[in-house]
Amino acid sequence: MHPKQDQVDAVRARRSELENHLIDEYRAGKIGRREFVRRGALVGMSLPLVTFLATACGVSTEDLEETDKPQTAEPKQGGTIRVGEQEPAGALDPVTVNNLGGLVVLAQTGEFLVTSDPRLRLVPRLAESWKPNADGSVWTFKLRRGVKFHDGKVMDAEDVATTFDRLADPDGGSNALSVFTGVLSKGGTKAVDANTVEFQLDAPNGNFPYLISSDNYNAIILPKTYDGDWEKTFIGTGPWKLDRFRPAEGVDFVPFKEYWDPRGRAITNKNELKFYADEQGLVLGFQGNEFDACVQYSVSGGKALLTDDTVITHELRAASHRQIHMRTDKEPFRDKRVRQAMALLVDRQALVDGLLDTKADYGNDSPFAPVYRSTAELEQRQRDVAKAKELLRAAGKEDGFSVELNTWQGFEMPDLAQLLQQMVREAGIRINLDITDSATYYGEATFGNSRWLDSTMGITEYGHRGVPNVLLGAPLLSDGTWNSAHFKNKRYDQLVADYVAAVDLDAQRRIAKEIQLLLLDEVPIMFTYFYYFLSGSKDYVSGVVTNPMGQMDVSRAGFV
Amino acid sequence: MGRFILRRVLLAIVTLFLLSLIVFVSAQVLPGDVARNILGPFADQRSVDQLNERLGTDRSIIVQYWDWITGVLTGDMGVSLAFRRPVEDVIGPALVNSAKLALLAFLIVVPLAVIGGVYAALREGSFRDRLISIGGLSATAIPDFVWAVLMILIFALTLGIFPSTATAPPGSNFFEEVWYLILPALCLVFVLFGYIARMARAGTVEALDADYTRTAVIKGLPQRTVVRRHVLRNSLLPTIAVVATQLGYLFGGLVVIELIFNYNGLGQTLVEAAQQKDFPLLQSGILIIGIVYLVATLVADIMYSVLNPRVRLGSEA
Phi then psi dihedrals of residue A415, to 5 deg: -65, -40
Q: For residue B265, is pLDDT > 90?
A: yes
**Backbone dihedral region for residue A401 (phi beyond 0: left; psi -120 to 50: alpha; all else: beta):** beta
Q: For residue A102, is pLDDT > 70?
A: yes
DSSP bridge pairs for B262: none
Q: For residue B123, is pLDDT > 80?
A: yes
Burial of B158 (0-12, 13-18, 19+ CB in 10 A): exposed
| Beta carbons within 8 Å of A387's beta carbon, 6+ residues apart | A341, A344
Phi then psi dihedrals of residue A209, to 5 deg: -55, -30
| Beta carbons within 8 Å of A326's beta carbon, 6+ residues apart | A333, A338, A339, A342, A456, A457, A485, A523, A524, A525, A526
- pLDDT the model gives residue A122: 92
Find the mean pLDDT for residues A28-57: 70
Q: What is the largest CA-CA distance in chain A?
A: 72
Residue of A274, A222, A176 whose CA lies nearest to A470: A176
* Among candidates A177, A244, A278 on the partner chain, residue whose Cβ is nearest the Cβ of B44: A177
Phi then psi dihedrals of residue A404, to 5 deg: -95, 135
* Among candidates B39, B259, B272 on the partner chain, residue whose Cβ is nearest the Cβ of A281: B259
* Cβ–Cβ < 8 Å for A89, A99: yes
A495-506 pLDDT tens trace: 999 999 998 888
Q: How far apart are CA B205 and CA B16, in angstroms?
A: 37
All structural domains of chain B:
2-73 (no CATH), 95-310 (1.10.3720.10)
Say yes or no for a CB contact (<8 Å) between B262 and A440: no
Task: Give the gyration radius of chain B's Cα atoms.
Answer: 24
Helix axes B144-151, B174-208, angle to 10 degrees: 130
Identify the helix (H) or strand (E) that includes residue A127. Answer: strand A127-132
Find the mean pLDDT for residues B204-225: 88
Minimum distance, in Å, between the CA of residue B273 and any CA atom of chain A:
10
Side-chain-side CA neighbours of residue B127 (13 Å): 0
In single-letter form, the type of residue at position A339 comes to: R
Minimum distance, in Å, between the CA of residue A252 and any CA atom of chain B:
10
Tell me which of B74 and A3 has the higher pLDDT: B74
Q: In B87-227, which ranges are continuous DSSP H helix?
A: 87-122, 127-141, 144-151, 174-208, 211-218, 223-225
Q: How far apart are CA B6 and CA A556, in angstroms?
A: 64
Residue of B317, B273, B298, B219 whose CA lies nearest to B77: B273
Q: How far apart are CA A390 and CA A70, in angstroms?
A: 50
Phi then psi dihedrals of residue A322, to 5 deg: -115, 135
Least confident of A163-167, B68-72, B158-162: B68-72
Find the mean pLDDT for residues A31-43: 70
Phi then psi dihedrals of residue A316, to 5 deg: -120, 125
* Cβ–Cβ < 8 Å for A326, A339: yes
Q: Complex ipTM, two decimals? A: 0.81
CA angle A547-A552-A554, nearest 5°? 130
Provide the pLDDT confidence category of residue B61 given band limits of 50, 70 and 90: confident
Minimum distance, in Å, between the CA of residue A442 and any CA atom of chain B:
6
Question: β-strand A525-538 against A545-546: which pairing, if any?
Answer: unpaired
Highest mean pLDDT among A185-189, B37-41, B255-259: A185-189
In chain A, % of residues over pLDDT 90:
75
Residue of A116, A558, A85 whose CA lies nearest to A372: A116
Q: How far apart are CA A106 and CA A251, in angstroms?
A: 11
Q: How far apart are CA B30 and CA B273, in angstroms?
A: 12
Provide the pLDDT confidence category of residue A67 given band limits of 50, 70 and 90: very low
Q: For residue B307, is pLDDT > 60?
A: yes
- pLDDT the model gives residue A85: 96
A72-92 pLDDT tens trace: 688 999 999 999 999 998 889
Minimum distance, in Å, between the CA of residue A422 and any CA atom of chain B:
29
All structural domains of chain A:
5-56 (no CATH), 112-220 (3.90.76.10), 317-533 (3.10.105.10)
Q: Which residue of A has its CA nearest to B54?
A: A173
Residue of B241, B240, B268 whose CA lies nearest to B254: B268
A179-214 pLDDT tens trace: 898 899 999 999 999 999 999 999 999 999 999 999
| Beta carbons within 8 Å of B302's beta carbon, 6+ residues apart | B1, B5, B313
- pLDDT the model gives residue B65: 86
| Alpha-carbon separation of residue A544 from A78, A260, A267, A478, A547 (angstroms) | 15, 20, 11, 42, 10
Q: In A4-156, which ranges are continuous DSSP H helix?
A: 5-14, 17-27, 33-42, 47-56, 100-109
Contacts of B83 in chain A (CB under 8 A): 90-91, 247
B239-254 pLDDT tens trace: 888 888 888 788 877 8
Contacts of B150 in chain A (CB under 8 A): none
A448-495 pLDDT tens trace: 989 999 999 999 999 999 999 999 999 999 999 899 999 999 999 999
Provide the pLDDT confidence category of residue A62 given band limits of 50, 70 and 90: very low
Question: β-strand A457-462 against A270-276: which pairing, if any?
Answer: unpaired
Q: How far apart are CA A148 and CA A238, in angstroms?
A: 9
CA angle A441-B249-A246, nearest 5°? 70
Whether the ω angle into residue A332 lies within 30 degrees of 0, i.e. cis, is yes
- pLDDT the model gives residue A365: 98
Highest mean pLDDT among A104-113, A372-381, B226-235: A104-113
Say yes or no for a CB contact (<8 Å) between B152 and A440: no
Q: How far apart are CA A66 and CA A545, in angstroms?
A: 11
* Cβ–Cβ < 8 Å for A451, A441: yes
Question: β-strand A270-276 against A240-246: which pairing, if any?
Answer: unpaired
- pLDDT the model gives residue A437: 86
Question: β-strand A114-116 against A122-124: which pairing, if any?
Answer: antiparallel
* Among candidates B32, B50, B276 on the partner chain, residue whose Cβ is nearest the Cβ of A173: B50
Residue of B128, B121, B286 whose CA lies nearest to B207: B121
Say yes or no for a CB contact (<8 Å) between A90 and B83: yes
Q: For residue A43, is pLDDT > 80?
A: no
Say yes or no for a CB contact (<8 Å) between A443 and B84: no
Say yes or no for a CB contact (<8 Å) between A445 and B48: yes
Q: How far apart are CA A341 and CA A200, in angstroms?
A: 45
Q: How does the average pLDDT of chain A come out, rounded?
A: 90
Q: For residue B126, is pLDDT > 80?
A: yes
Say yes or no for a CB contact (<8 Å) between B45 and A481: yes
Range list of β-strands (E), A144-237: 189-193, 196-200
CB atoms within 10 A of CB A267: 21
CB atoms within 10 A of CB A85: 25
Contacts of B277 in chain A (CB under 8 A): 439
A135-184 pLDDT tens trace: 999 999 999 999 999 999 999 999 999 999 999 998 888 889 888 988 99
Burial of A111 (0-12, 13-18, 19+ CB in 10 A): buried
Q: How does the average pLDDT of chain B come out, rounded?
A: 87
DSSP bridge pairs for A407: A435
* Cβ–Cβ < 8 Å for A212, A469: no
- pLDDT the model gives residue A66: 35
* Cβ–Cβ < 8 Å for B128, B117: no
Q: Could you tell me how many residues make up chain B?
A: 317
DSSP bridge pairs for A440: none
DSSP-derived 3-state class of residue A319:
strand
* Cβ–Cβ < 8 Å for A293, A279: no
Q: For residue A263, is pLDDT > 80?
A: yes
Say yes or no for a CB contact (<8 Å) between B51 and A96: yes
Provide the pLDDT confidence category of residue A65 given band limits of 50, 70 and 90: very low
Q: How far apart are CA A430 and CA A338, in angstroms?
A: 13
| Beta carbons within 8 Å of A372's beta carbon, 6+ residues apart | A120, A319, A467, A468, A512
In single-letter form, the type of residue at position A22 comes to: L
Contacts of B149 in chain A (CB under 8 A): 280, 284
Minimum distance, in Å, between the CA of residue B52 and any CA atom of chain A:
9
Find the mean pLDDT for residues A17-31: 72
Provide the pLDDT confidence category of residue A125 given band limits of 50, 70 and 90: very high
